[in-house]
Amino acid sequence: MRRLPALGDAFAGDPGADRIVPPSGFTARLTQFTAAAMAFLAVFALALSLAAGRLADHWGEALARTATVRISAPEGQMATQTDAVLAVLATTPGIAGARLIPEDEQRALLAPWFGPDLPVESLPLPRLVEITETAEGMDAEALRLRLSGEAPGAVLDDHTRWRRPLVEAAGRLRLLGWLSIGLIGATMAAMIALSANAALAANARVIEVLRLVGARDTFIARAFVRRFTRRALEGAAIGTAAGMVAVAVLPGDGAGPGVLTGLGFRGLDWLLPLALPLIAAGVAFGATRLTAMRVLKGIT
Amino acid sequence: MIELEDVSHSYGGGELLSGISLKLEPGSFHFLTGPSGAGKSTLLKLCYAELTPSRGRVRLFGAELGGMDRDAVARTRRRIGVVHQDCQFLDHLPLSENISLPLLAAGRDVAAEAGNLKELMAWVGLEAQAGSLPPQLSGGERQRAALARAVIMAPDVILADEPTGNVDWEMSLRILQLLIELNRMGKAILVATHDLNLIRAAKAHVAARVLRIKGRQLLLAGADL
């Protein structure tokens, strides 16, 4: 908690204390550029992470709540087995509803592959029953056993086999996004620490004079910390703004759950990148302060 | 105020000072002399804790140097004004800001003390140079400015390392006069110099003790000084 007032000082500024360190145009631009570039990348990592999160939630929700029963029976038994399946489903705990998919809807599902004029009635297509589960969910294994007894041609597909890897992939993509943000922050901290180290080395004489006249380490460190924190804040603000504009103009309808078409911010998500400049300033504050205090300990 | 007791200091494997004892009392005036490289500057640095002794004890205003943390050393230095031969200014700051640097470092309101600063600059004869940068000043002006910076915190002790090393005789006497004035205000003064004429000139006005570093030891100088 002792650091909070000092972080406030970094933004409040002190013109007198600021002037004790000579201006250094190169390191100033370098720090600002680093912060801007890192903030720009962080905006994309954040957008990716949020999009992957939405995808994982969407697929996970669908996985948890829907299943399909496919009935492949000889022509004479199709209606009987379909009725048997619907009857079993109607009495199975955990199932909120079961809907026999009509033939025209099946035709629509197949249309992208076979064209709109597909004579569904003349093909030996299986019948499909869409199941919607309750929040508690059903016992898939128990249902399979009952279906094998009542309708031997019915196969329960609870989507687990193909949906779960997708959900896991989306979850990992989300994790990767957050990991990228962490790495971007750590890289920025390292680069600012290097810049601060160079600035402290270049101003060794200034530091010696200040120690000579009775300046405490915190006073000297503050002069450097304030400067680097401000540069990081300014740079990160520019980078964040540029990143948000770039995300906003990305092509895509923004409505779908896909990573590519859904990459971006929705609603209040747009507020999240606004925290990046403050986080960058905090990172710069910590990195510079740690560097300065370490270097100052080596000077009497 | 400043007390060195059986202090030795080693550098690069060799002992530069050995068994030094010195006490600076309020109102005392000491000259420290000896050939170049004898350890005059080292002894001064021990007095304001830029160096620590390899043996012996240093007490600053009653506190053991060995028991002081870095903040305590910084606070103690505010009670010791130091004048270096090379002045040690920040070349990018105007003279007035260099002189008021100790006030800023101590967290004092520099603007509120503008009157005192102006008075101090007049005392050392540098009113007209307030806005000049240090590289624009002559050697004598820089030395007087260094003296002004050393006394702006109203320290109890003034340590001066060859304060007249780069100035002519007339300017040397002027700086000496300022040091004597400070001594009359009760400040303890320790001046390291190899200028024996300056010491003789001072002894005409003030009861100064002259110490000589010889063979790593601190000796009281002979009656010729």
Domain assignment present for residue B95? The answer is no
pLDDT at A3: 46
Q: Taking CB atoms and an 8 Å cutoff, what residues of chain A touch B110?
A: 16
Domain assignment present for residue A159? The answer is no
Q: What is the domain extent for residue A110?
A: 73-152
A240 with A273: CB under 8 angstroms? Answer: yes
Which of A212, A293, A300 should be substituted to probe chain B, the one whose Cβ sees the most B Cβ atoms within 10 Å?
A212
Q: How confident is the model at residue B90 (pLDDT cuts 50, 70, 90)?
A: very high
Q: What are B182-213's pLDDT values in tens digits?
A: 999 999 999 999 888 999 999 889 989 999 99
Sign of CA dihedral A130, A133, A139, A140: positive
What's chain A look like in SS3? CCHHHHHHHHHHCCHHHHCCCCCCHHHHHHHHHHHHHHHHHHHHHHHHHHHHHHHHHHHHHHHHHEEEEEECCCHHHHHHHHHHHHHHHHCCCCEEEEEECCHHHHHHHHHHHHCCCCCHHHCCCCEEEEEEECCCCCCHHHHHHHHHHHCCCEEEECCHHHHHHHHHHHHHHHHHHHHHHHHHHHHHHHHHHHHHHHHHHHCHHHHHHHHHCCCCHHHHHHHHHHHHHHHHHHHHHHHHHHHHHHHHCCCCCCCCCCHHHHCCCCHHHHHHHHHHHHHHHHHHHHHHHHHHHHHHCCCC
- Assess whether A115 and A27 both reside in one domain: no
- Assess whether A233 and A104 both reside in one domain: no
Domain assignment present for residue B163? The answer is yes
Domain assignment present for residue A66? The answer is no
Domain assignment present for residue A93? The answer is yes
How long, in residues, is chain B? 225
CB contact under 8 A, B49 and A216: no
pLDDT at A8: 63
- Assess whether A272 and A228 both reside in one domain: yes
Q: What is the domain extent for residue B35?
A: 2-79+155-220
- Assess whether A84 and A217 both reside in one domain: no
Q: How far is B46 from chain A (nearest CA, A)?
A: 11
Domain assignment present for residue A68? The answer is no
- Selected residue with higher pLDDT from A106 and B181: B181
Q: What are A9-65's pLDDT values in tens digits?
A: 655 556 666 788 888 767 778 889 999 999 999 999 999 999 888 888 877 776 667
Which phi and psi (to 5°) does residue B63 adopt?
Answer: -105, 135
Domain assignment present for residue A257? The answer is yes
Domain assignment present for residue B103? The answer is no
pLDDT at A4: 45
Residue B180 DSSP code: H
Domain assignment present for residue B135? The answer is no
Q: Give the mean pLDDT per block of 10 residues along chain A (300 residues).
A: 52 67 78 94 93 82 80 88 93 91 82 74 83 86 91 87 80 90 92 88 89 92 90 95 93 59 85 95 93 87
Domain count of chain B? Answer: 1
Q: How far is A214 from chain B (nearest CA, A)?
A: 4
Domain assignment present for residue B117? The answer is no
CB nearest A16 (choices: B71, B74, B104): B104
Task: Round the average pLDDT of chain B to a whole number and report it.
Answer: 91
B18 with B56: CB under 8 angstroms? Answer: no
Which of B89, B90, B161 should be substituted to probe chain A, the one whose Cβ sees the most A Cβ atoms within 10 Å?
B90
The domain that holds B42 is classified in CATH as 3.40.50.300
- Assess whether A179 and A53 both reside in one domain: yes
Taking the mean position of all CA atoms in its chain, how far away is CA A299?
45
pLDDT at A2: 43
Q: What are B23-75's pLDDT values in tens digits?
A: 999 999 999 998 888 899 999 999 999 999 999 999 999 999 989 999 999 99
Which of B89, B91, B97, B101 should be substituted to probe chain A, the one whose Cβ sees the most A Cβ atoms within 10 Å?
B101
CB nearest B71 (choices: A16, A208, A216): A216
pLDDT at B44: 95
Q: What are B153-170's pLDDT values in tens digits?
A: 989 999 999 988 878 898
Q: Nearest CA to B39 among B61, B15, B60?
A: B15
- Assess whether A288 and A241 both reside in one domain: yes
Domain boundary among A101, A127, A152: A152
Distance CA(B223)–CA(A6), nearest Å, equals 57
Tokens linked to B196: 């024996």
Percent of chain B clearing pLDDT 70 (strictly above):
98
Domain boundary among A124, A152, A180: A152
pLDDT at B171: 85
Q: Taking CB atoms and an 8 Å cutoff, what residues of chain A touch B149?
A: 213
Domain count of chain A? Answer: 2
Domain assignment present for residue A65? The answer is no
CB nearest B110 (choices: A16, A22, A297): A16
